[in-house]
């Protein structure tokens, strides 16, 4: 779904058996293309009585199809904030073969597309942010799922607003696992490349080619990208007053199609980040989100927050702002006391750091 520069990993294996034969026999009609990118395209389709999303990979992008399918069928990989997988299959003959992944369909599309055409209220920002962080926290966790076995920690490695879908009620669901990597306890992650993903969202250590190939290092790379996505939400929130036109992270600094070298200069050498406006800091709730954003995109990877901590912080600030301040019709939203118990060492975040 993305059109920006990036690098895909490599994989030569076929995925495991995917769907019961009866599911594959269901009639499916492609209706319209919803997104195009380097991997192929995403269609809105009709399957029986419901709409589904069909992601179609050309055969030369088989590695991404295999990897994404493997991640989707990982035991325990079912969660309210992870895109619901239906099946994956090969279509067509050998010369014109296509590789399909079929998932649930969300009419609102990606968070990026939504923010281009819409502004969000304070409560909507909290809901999207909290559900997005909850999905990423689940992805990053080693958990034992009753009846399904152990789910390993998974690093997304291409986290961005284009890969976050929105349900009709603005609940966030995370998708696009073509670059994701699993970390089973006691096992190495297998062969993987360091500098992959979308350049604009790459953490400084990735842009520099200086990452440590350990589980926590990969999870911290996702957290840097989460900070940028939270900034995108802040930039389109009307709670503190006038809202500017939607821009991608660093679009103001390096334009819409930056070269890798430009981002290395801005992010690694100058240590720049998208600007946090004074207006945001005057709204108590937004000020707390700004503080969280800064701790997510910290240049020191080990200082970054965990996804679970971000979820807890947003949840707490949302609860403390609920029902306070002026009526919700006020464009500036609630004015609340500054919150003082949201640092990484507080009870909210203990046992949540990476």
Kindly list the catalytic residues: 158
| Closest by CA position to 149, among listed 78, 75, 72 | 75
Enter the DSSP assignment of 249.
T
Hunting for tokens 């669901």 — which residue is that?
Answer: 173
Which two tokens mark 227? 């900070």
Which two tokens mark 318? 């949302």
Query: What is the distance between the alpha carbons of residues 113 and 111, in angstroms, rounded to a whole number?
Result: 6
SS3 149: strand
Query: What is the distance between the alpha carbons of residues 246 and 232, in angstroms, rounded to a whole number?
Result: 8
For residue 48, the tally of other CB atoms under 10 A from its CB is 8
DSSP codes, 271-319: ---PPPPHHHHTSHHHHHHHHHHHHHS-SSGGGSPPHHHHHHHHHHHHH
DSSP codes, 81-127: TBPPEEEEEEES-STT-EEEEEEE--TT-BHHHHHHH--B-HHHHHH
């Amino acid at each position: 779904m993305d059109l920006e520069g990036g690098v895909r990993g490599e994989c030569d294996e076929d995925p495991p058996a995917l769907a019961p034969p009866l599911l594959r026999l269901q009639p499916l009609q492609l209706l319209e293309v919803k997104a195009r990118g380097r991997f192929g395209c995403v269609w809105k389709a009709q399957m029986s009585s419901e709409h589904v999303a069909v992601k179609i990979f050309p055969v030369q992008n088989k590695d991404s199809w295999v990897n994404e399918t493997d991640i989707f069928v990982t035991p325990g990989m079912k969660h309210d904030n992870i895109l619901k997988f239906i099946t994956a299959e090969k279509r067509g003959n050998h010369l014109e073969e296509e590789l399909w992944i079929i998932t649930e369909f969300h009419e609102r599309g990606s968070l990026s597309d939504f923010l281009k055409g819409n502004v969000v209220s304070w409560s909507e920002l909290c809901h999207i942010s909290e559900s997005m962080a909850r999905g990423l926290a689940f992805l990053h966790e080693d958990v034992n799922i009753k009846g399904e076995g152990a789910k390993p920690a998974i690093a997304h490695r291409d986290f961005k607003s284009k890969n976050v879908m929105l349900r009709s009620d603005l609940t966030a669901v995370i998708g696009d696992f073509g670059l994701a990597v699993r970390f089973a306890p006691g096992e190495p992650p297998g062969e993987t490349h360091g500098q992959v993903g979308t350049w604009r969202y790459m953490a400084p250590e990735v842009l520099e080619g200086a990452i440590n190939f350990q589980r926590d290092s990969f999870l911290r790379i996702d957290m840097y990208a989460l900070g940028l996505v939270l900034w995108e939400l802040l930039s389109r929130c009307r709670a503190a007053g006038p809202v500017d036109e939607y821009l991608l992270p660093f679009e103001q600094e390096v334009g819409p199609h930056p070269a890798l070298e430009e981002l290395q200069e801005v992010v690694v050498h100058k240590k720049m980040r998208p600007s946090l406006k004074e207006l945001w800091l005057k709204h108590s709730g937004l000020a707390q989100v700004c503080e969280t954003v800064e701790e997510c995109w910290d240049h020191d990877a080990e200082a970054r927050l965990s996804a679970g901590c971000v979820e807890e912080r947003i949840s707490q600030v949302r609860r403390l702002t609920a029902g306070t301040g002026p009526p919700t019709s006020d464009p500036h939203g609630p004015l609340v006391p500054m919150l003082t118990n949201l640092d990484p060492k507080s009870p909210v975040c203990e046992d949540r750091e990476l």
